[in-house]
Amino acid sequence: MFKQLVINDLEHETRVALVEDGTIAELFIERKDESDIASNIYKGRVKRVLPGMQAAFVDIGLEQAAFIYVNDLVFSRSKEYEKLFIDDNTNENEKNQDENETNNKKSQEVQQAKNGLQIEDLILEGQEIMVQVAKSPIGTKGARATGYISIPGRFLVLMPNVENIGVSRRIEDEAERKRLRKLVQEIKSDDFGYIVRTAAEGIQNEKLLSEMVFLNSIWKNILKKYQNAAPSRLIHRELTVSLRAVRDLLTHEVEKLIIDSKTGYDTIISFLDNFMPGMKSSVEYYDGFEPIFDAYNLEGDISRALKRKVWLKSGGYIVIEQTEALSAIDVNTGRFVGKHNLEETILKTNLEAVKEIAYQIRLRDLGGIIIIDFIDMEKKINQEKIYKALLDALKKDRSKTHILPMSELGLIQMTRKRIKKPLTRFLCEPCFYCDGEGYLISKKTICYNIYREILRDAQDMVGATCTLRVNPEIAELLLGEENRIIVTLEKKIKRQIVIFPNKQFHMEQFDFFEVLSE
């Protein structure tokens, strides 16, 4: 399977598409509004402790407070940590007991000790703590935070709050797993924990040691910033979406990277110079006039991933509904009538739906609980076929999934690890036309679509001016907060753009035409 990264890098938005054999499999989007804050590290202040929930709200400087569960709080591991995270009134015996635990059983014993304590025994309102965002805010829910910090590198992930050494499950060779684990144990000179990443397979100790030193220096800098920063402040920001894709996907997953921004291209080359100089030949700068996502036929699949109903080639379809707690997927035969008997028609529809469901789950980045309602099948052997087919189809998914066999009601229940907003929540907003029962494409997304549409047709224009007609709210956004889009567009197409609001236009409706000079 040929995999490549296609990056559309603009001033206001960056989109990274993981493309497998010409089809978009995953989409990562970053906007300058900082909507994706996963893995950022903050100096927080405990805003409220909730004994009934065994959780607490932590002010990290955002509109919504982050929440942290008792199991995500870090116990003291050293005097350095005591100074940073342990309140002065903490029982001295608890500190000494935690410090004297043996290294090989420490994590397990700490967890057992924590299970016997309530959250009000561990933190107090007003206390300052270091937290990392495990999940970005979704809907009305604030960010999910953890005290267990992890700092990813190219080959290693540093975990300063634990001592365990782990090896990526994707390294299947048991001898290589043992070699890497032993290597990390031998070269580390601290009591930190590490995870060896897939990219480290076959690597020698010099590179691992070099990255270990680098990650340790980042952690020391974070501690220094924590001590000097005011509460509710960001003290460490995760890499941009483009550099994360380079770090996490290039080499062991992706063979080629194409980016349409010269600035972004130079940034990636500079990053590779420091960490992976041998991969620079895999990066290509795209300077074509046609927008890069159009050139690789990706926009259609993105638009399809925003729709509630997805048609199958046979004539059947699936319906995807998302709620706060779970996602429900319903399979229907639609226009497909089959050729022989009902059971065969249903089985074929369900098997075709399995592939599309696995694809949509990954592309839309659905997470949490997912319930799939397949068309009822009488034969147990056919139910097993659907279950096994779904297991196979989700093997490509990099997010952790857990799937239960089909129930007597014909339902398959599964969970998928969720870190950030699903695609529809990122690109859409509740529809005010239907009182929040459905979704509209968000105003910002409409502005970005206008940008791409005009850029797409600009090569055929001959007039000196382009007139753009839009809904008044979109006009206000383009003339105000998103004015940089128009400024950038005018520079690119070398024409003035005049915006006319039209009250008769639907929010998503727009048109444009050139004005010929007399």
More confidently predicted of 325 and 447: 447
User: Tokens 């990219």 correspond to what residue?
Assistant: 199
DSSP code string of 59-97: E-SSSS-EEEEGGGSPPP-SHHHHHHHS-TTS-HHHHHH
Is 225 in the same domain as 193? yes
Q: What is the mean pLDDT of residues 99-105?
A: 35
At residue 516, what is the residue type? L
- What are all long-range contacts of 240-245, with beta carbons under 8 Å and residues at least 24 apart? 240/14, 240/30, 241/14, 241/16, 241/28, 241/29, 241/30, 241/36, 242/7, 242/9, 242/14, 242/16, 242/267, 242/268, 243/267, 243/268, 243/271, 244/28, 245/5, 245/7, 245/16, 245/18, 245/28
Is 155 in the same domain as 213? yes
Beta-carbon contacts of residue 209 (< 8 Å; ≥ 6 apart): 187
User: Tokens 């032993």 correspond to what residue?
Assistant: 182
* Confidence check: pLDDT of 92 > 50: no
CATH code, 87: 2.40.50.140
Strand partners, 3: 20
Q: Which two tokens stand for residue 312?
A: 């199958």
Is 52 in the same domain as 201? yes
Confidence of residue 80 (pLDDT cuts 50, 70, 90): very low
Report phi then psi at 135, rounded to 5: -140, 135
pLDDT tens readout for residues 280-322: 999 999 999 899 999 999 999 999 999 999 999 888 899 999 8
pLDDT tens readout for residues 163-173: 889 998 888 88
* Confidence check: pLDDT of 485 > 70: yes
Contact between residue 334 and residue 311 where contact means Cβ atoms under 8 Å apart: yes
* Confidence check: pLDDT of 518 > 70: no
Helix/strand/coil for 236: strand
* Confidence check: pLDDT of 105 > 80: no
Q: Residue 208 and residue 214: Cα distance in Å, rounded?
A: 10
Q: Is there a domain that residue 398 lies in?
A: yes
Is 471 in the same domain as 392? no
Number of residues written out for the chain = 518
Q: Residue 436 and residue 429: Cα distance in Å, rounded?
A: 9
Domain boundary among 281, 299, 317: 299
Q: Residue 90 and residue 82: Cα distance in Å, rounded?
A: 9
Q: Is there a domain that residue 386 lies in?
A: yes
pLDDT at position 68 is: 94
Contact between residue 259 and residue 250 where contact means Cβ atoms under 8 Å apart: no
Q: Which two tokens stand for residue 78?
A: 């050293």
Least confident of 49-53, 140-144, 381-385, 508-512: 140-144
Is 65 in the same domain as 187? yes
Nearest alpha carbon to residue 337 among 325, 345, 326, 347:
345
Q: Is there a domain that residue 10 lies in?
A: yes
Is 229 in the same domain as 286? no
Q: What is the mean pLDDT of residues 51-61?
A: 93
Domain boundary among 244, 273, 299: 299
Helix/strand/coil for 50: strand
Strand pairing category for 256-259 and 283-285: parallel
Nearest alpha carbon to residue 293 among 2, 93, 7, 76:
7
Is 447 in the same domain as 408? no
Domain encompassing residue 279: 3-36+257-299
User: Tokens 């690789």 correspond to what residue?
Assistant: 296
Least confident of 28-37, 146-155, 301-310: 28-37
- Cα-based distances in Å from 79 to 43, 76, 85, 89, 99: 19, 8, 10, 15, 9
pLDDT at position 470 is: 95
* Number of domains forming the structure of the chain: 4
Helix (H) or strand (E) holding 3: strand 3-9
User: Tokens 């990526």 correspond to what residue?
Assistant: 168
Alpha helices in 161-282 (DSSP H): 174-187, 205-228, 241-249, 262-275
How many helical (H) and strand (E) elements, i.e. helices and strands, does the chain have? 16, 26
Q: What is the mean pLDDT of residues 72-94?
A: 44
* Confidence check: pLDDT of 334 > 90: no
Q: Residue 508 and residue 312: Cα distance in Å, rounded?
A: 26
pLDDT at position 338 is: 61
* Confidence check: pLDDT of 449 > 50: yes
Is 470 in the same domain as 504? yes
Is 274 in the same domain as 403? no
pLDDT at position 108 is: 47
* Confidence check: pLDDT of 93 > 60: no
User: Tokens 């997927």 correspond to what residue?
Assistant: 329
Q: Which two tokens stand for residue 318?
A: 């699936």
* Confidence check: pLDDT of 30 > 60: yes
Beta-carbon contacts of residue 108 (< 8 Å; ≥ 6 apart): none
DSSP code string of 262-328: HHHHHHHHHHHHHH-GGGGGGEEE---SS-HHHHTT-HHHHHHTT-SEEE-TTS-EEEEEE-SSEEE
* Confidence check: pLDDT of 109 > 50: no
Nearest alpha carbon to residue 332 among 315, 352, 316, 348:
316
Helix/strand/coil for 28: strand
- Cα-based distances in Å from 131 to 54, 60, 149, 223, 417: 17, 9, 7, 12, 20
pLDDT tens readout for residues 351-409: 999 999 999 999 999 999 999 999 988 889 999 999 999 999 998 888 889 999 999 88
HSE at residue 392, side-chain half, CA atoms within 13 A, is 9
Domain boundary among 416, 434, 463: 416
Is 275 in the same domain as 222? no
pTM: predicted TM-score of the whole model, two decimal places: 0.77
